[in-house]
Amino acid sequence: MRHIKIFDTTLRDGEQSPGVALNHAQKLEIAHQLARLGVDIIEAGFAISSPGDFECIQRIAQEVHGPVICSLARLNKADIERAAMALEPAEKRRIHVFTSASKIHLEKMLKKTPEQILDLSREMIQFALQFTDDVEFSAQDVMRADPEFVFQLYAAAIEAGATTINIPDTVGYGAPNEYGRIIRTIHDDVVAGRNVAISTHCHDDLGMATALSLAAVENGATQIECTINGIGERAGNTSLEEVVMAIHTRKDWYHAETRINTRELYRASRLVSRLTGMPVQPNKAIVGDNAFAHESGIHQDGVLKHKDTYEIMNAELVGREAAVMVMGKHSGRAAFRKALSDLGYEFSDEKINALFARFKDLADRKGQIYADDLRALVESRTDVPQTFTLEGFQITSGLNITPVAFIRLATPEGSVEATAHGDGPVAAAFTAISQITGITPELDTYRIQAVTRGSEALGEVSITARYQNMHITGQGVATDVVEASARAWIRVINQIVAGMGKTKVATDAAESL
C-alpha cells in the first residue's frame, strides 16, 4: 500500500475563509488536535503576512510534536527568511514556496514573463534549501495554464532541489479526468522516477475538490492538501475527512492508505466548527449530523437487519459514537474522569475539578448525561482568563411583552447586577452584560444548534463579533438557550479583556493557493 501523506492547511488556507479569525490559543488548540489526528504536515500559516501569524507559527513549531510544521512563502528572500525564522524551533520543518502558472495570473497579478518565473523559481528554491532540506514548490492555477509551461516549470523546480511539487487547481476549474491526466504526465515524464513527492491542492468551486484529489492519487500523487470540514477561500478546499475515509473505505480501488487516526475525525470537525463559527451542514459526508442517520423505512429496515446494507463505514470508526454511556448527578469524580478518558480527553486535576462542577450543575437540571453532552461540556471549556463569570440570570419575555433580562456577573469588584430591555431575550441579556462590563462588541453572526436530541438537549451557541480592530468567536452551552447565549457573549468579552482577539491584516501577502 502506498502511503498518502495528509498535508493539513486548515490553519493557513482554511483560516482565510471569510469571517474566520482564529487567535493564537485557538490555532494552537487545533494544531494539537491535528497532531492527535495524525496528519503528516501542518501548514501553520504564512509567516510574513503579519507579526501575529509569525508568532503563532513559532509557537506551534515549539509546542506541537509529530507532524512536519510548514510555513508558506512567496518567491522572495524576505518571505523565505521569515518562514525559516518562524519554523526554527520545529523538530521537522518545511518551507512551502509558491508562484503562479496561468497566463492571467502572470500578466495581471505578478506582472512577470514565463522566463522570469522560471529563473525566480530556481533561485528561490535553492535559497530555501539553505534553511531546510524539505522544500515544497507550488504554482497556482495550473488548470488554466499552458500545459507545456506547467511541465517546464515543475521540471525546473525539481532540478533546483524541490522535494515536493504541488499542483494546485486554485479556482476549482478542472474536471477529475483532466486533472488526473496532468498528474499522470507529471508523474511519468517530469518526475520520471526521481525521489520527489507529487501533491494535490484543490478548491471546491464546482463541488469537485474531493474527486479531483482522489483522481490525483489514482495517477501517482502521494500527498493531499486539505482542510478540516473543507473550509477555505470561496467554496472551500478539499475536505480532509472525505479523502481520508474514501481512501480507507476503498483501499481495494486506490491501493493506498493514510496514517490518520480516523476516530479523531469527528472531534476535529467539531473543534474547527466551534472555533471558527462555521457550521457543518447536516448532509456533509462523514461528519454531518445526518451522515449516519436513516429516515426511509426501507433503509431503516435494512440497517436493523444488517448495518452493511446501507452503511459502507462504521460511525464509530470516525469517532461519531463511543460506548453507550449514561451518567447523572450521582456519578462521582472518578467515573467522570473515566468517561472523559473514554472519549479521548485527558486533563489536569484542576481542569477536571472545574469541568466536574459544570457537569454536576448540568446533571441537576438535565438528569441523564450522554456522550454528546460530555463532549459539548468539554468543548465549551475556556482557557481564557475569567475576568467576568455568569452568576445568575432571569428573563421576562412573552407575547406583547418587551423582553427584560436581569444578569448578575462575578467581576473583579465583586458581584454586579444589571437589568436591560431588548428586541428579544438574547439581545436583552447581551445589553445587560455589556452594561456591567463596559464593553459592547458588534455582533456579526449568531448560530444555535442542539447538541443532542430531545426536549432536554443542550443548546450550543456560537457567535462571531468585532471590537475595534479585533475579530472574536465565542461559544456557550446550556440547557437554556439564553444562558448559552450569555455564556458565549461573556466569553467574547473575556477574550477582549485578555487581548486574545485576532486582528486580521489585509495585505498583498494574503494570497491563497
The answer to whether 203 is annotated as binding is yes
Cα R_g (the chain), whole angstroms? 25
pLDDT at 471: 87
Residues 172-200: what's their mean pLDDT?
A: 97
The answer to whether 13 is annotated as binding is yes
More confident residue, 365 or 86: 86
Is the CB of residue 105 less than 8 Å from the CB of residue 78?
no
| Range with lowest mean pLDDT among 68-72, 350-354, 463-467 | 350-354
Q: In three state form, how does the secondary structure of 261-284 look? A: CHHHHHHHHHHHHHHHCCCCCCCC
Answer yes or no: is pLDDT of 303 > 60.
no
What tens digit of pLDDT does each residue of 220-230 get?
Answer: 999 999 999 99
Answer yes or no: is pLDDT of 52 > 50.
yes
Closest CA to 433 of 384, 481, 470, 488: 488
Closest CA to 477 of 382, 337, 351: 382
Q: For residue 324, what are the contacts with CB-CB under 8 A and spacing of at least 6? A: none
pLDDT at 322: 43
Answer yes or no: is pLDDT of 506 > 50.
no
What is the CATH code of the structural domain delimited by 389-497? 3.30.160.270
Residues 487-504: what's their mean pLDDT?
A: 85
Residue 502's CB is within 10 A of a number of other CB atoms, namely: 23
- For the chain, what percent of residues have pLDDT higher than 90? 68
Q: What band does 323 get if pLDDT is binned at 50, 70 and 90?
A: very low
What tens digit of pLDDT does each residue of 97-152 get?
Answer: 999 999 999 999 999 999 999 999 999 999 999 999 999 999 999 999 999 999 99
Is the CB of residue 212 less than 8 Å from the CB of residue 174?
yes
The answer to whether 237 is annotated as binding is yes
Number of H helices, E strands in the chain: 17, 17
Answer yes or no: is pLDDT of 15 > 70.
yes
What 8-state DSSP symbol labels residue 239? Answer: B
Residues 183-189: what's their mean pLDDT?
A: 98
Can you name the CATH fold of 2-276?
A: TIM Barrel (3.20.20)
pTM for the complete prediction? Answer: 0.80
Answer yes or no: is pLDDT of 508 > 60.
no
What's the rounded Cα separation, in Å, for the pair 285 and 443? 30
The answer to whether 306 is annotated as binding is no
What tens digit of pLDDT does each residue of 246-302 get?
Answer: 999 999 999 999 999 999 999 999 999 989 989 999 899 999 988 877 555 565 567
What's the rounded Cα separation, in Å, for the pair 236 and 44? 17
Grid look-up 493514510 returns: 258
More confident residue, 385 or 432: 432
